[in-house]
């Protein structure tokens, strides 16, 4: 396989994707484009490229990497795969572990090819989808799921049953981003491109969508915002009253009740934050 440079890969994949929008579904890519798609998936698989990357304070979406994933689904055919003591029927194979990756993988943790798991990460029985990035020192705990293209930083703890949403389309849509040193409590749900900034703590059961109000209750007057969690913020589930024609009802929101401090070790300060604000995990 002739592997072009990254800039050339981007051009080939962009052109191929645009072309396929105007031809029938049963048409396929030419050999050069197929090689480019496979090469891009290998680069995602090894972490050499990412669907989204931070540039300064801004996360930038690499749309062409998303296009490569969508084209990969186009060129792959359904088949039976063997995975240890079970088989599955799909288009995308799972990552194969040799031990050289430096990742601890507990049965039955599953990570699709095209996802990247950094050395030092731990996968408990969990699922990581294609295009996702999981940083060094991060634990994906039991029954947690990391959706397609989600970006998980280093030294993050995704507790049991956490659901991190995925996104492939629209191409410009931001994936869920969990920055470094974040603690996500049990059964939390983070979807629709929400960004959780460095050092934040989500208490158990927090649900964050792009439209979920996050209410800062640390001051005399509450301030509401959406779509992101500030650095070092401590967030818990909450409700607020909303009036409907049938009456007043409590609907979900999230409450920002304080901030972690940087005065102690990250692991210690996580525990202190949870104890100080009486946040369950």
Q: Take residue 236 and report the two structure tokens written for it.
A: 């818990």
Reference 279, options 214, 184, 211; nearest CA is: 184
pTM value? 0.92
Using CA atoms, how far apart are residues 146 and 160, in angstroms rounded to an integer? 12
Reference 166, options 200, 130, 201; nearest CA is: 130
CB atoms within 10 A of CB 15: 12
pLDDT digits (tens, 9 = 90+) for 156-209: 999 999 999 999 988 888 999 999 999 999 999 999 999 999 999 999 999 999
Alpha-carbon distance values, 140 to 16, 230, 247 (Å): 35, 22, 41
Using CA atoms, how far apart are residues 250 and 240, in angstroms rounded to an integer? 5
Residue 28 pLDDT: 76
Residue ranges and CATH numbers for the domains of the chain are: 6-76 (1.10.166.10), 92-276 (2.160.10.10)
Question: CB–CB of 214/207 below 8 Å?
Answer: no
pLDDT-based confidence at residue 131 (cuts at 50, 70, 90): very high
pLDDT digits (tens, 9 = 90+) for 70-98: 999 999 999 999 877 788 999 999 999 99
């Amino acid at each position: 396989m002739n592997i072009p440079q990254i800039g050339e890969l981007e051009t080939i994949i962009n052109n191929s994707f645009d072309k396929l929008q105007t031809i029938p579904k049963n048409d396929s890519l030419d050999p050069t484009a197929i090689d480019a798609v496979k090469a891009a998936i290998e680069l995602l698989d090894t972490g050499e490229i990412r669907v989204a990357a931070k540039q300064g304070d801004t996360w930038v979406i690499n749309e062409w990497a998303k296009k490569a994933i969508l084209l990969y689904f186009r060129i792959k055919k359904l088949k039976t795969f063997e995975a240890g003591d079970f088989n599955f029927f799909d288009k995308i194979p799972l990552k194969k572990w040799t031990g050289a990756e430096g990742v601890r993988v507990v049965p039955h943790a599953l990570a699709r090819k095209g996802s990247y798991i950094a050395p030092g990460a731990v996968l408990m029985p969990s699922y990581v989808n294609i295009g996702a990035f999981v940083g060094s020192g991060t634990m994906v705990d039991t029954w947690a799921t990391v959706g397609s293209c989600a970006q998980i930083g280093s030294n993050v703890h995704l507790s049991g049953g956490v659901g991190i949403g995925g996104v492939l389309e629209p191409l410009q849509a931001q994936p869920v981003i969990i920055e470094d040193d974040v603690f996500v409590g049990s059964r939390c749900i983070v979807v629709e491109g929400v960004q959780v900034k460095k050092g934040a703590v989500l208490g158990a059961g927090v649900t964050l969508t792009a439209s979920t109000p996050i209410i800062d209750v640390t001051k005399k007057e509450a301030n509401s915002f959406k779509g992101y969690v500030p650095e070092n913020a401590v967030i818990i589930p909450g409700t607020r009253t909303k009036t409907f024609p049938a009456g007043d009802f409590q609907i979900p929101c999230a409450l920002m009740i304080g901030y972690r401090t940087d005065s102690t070790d990250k692991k210690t300060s996580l525990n202190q934050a949870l104890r100080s604000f009486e946040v369950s995990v």
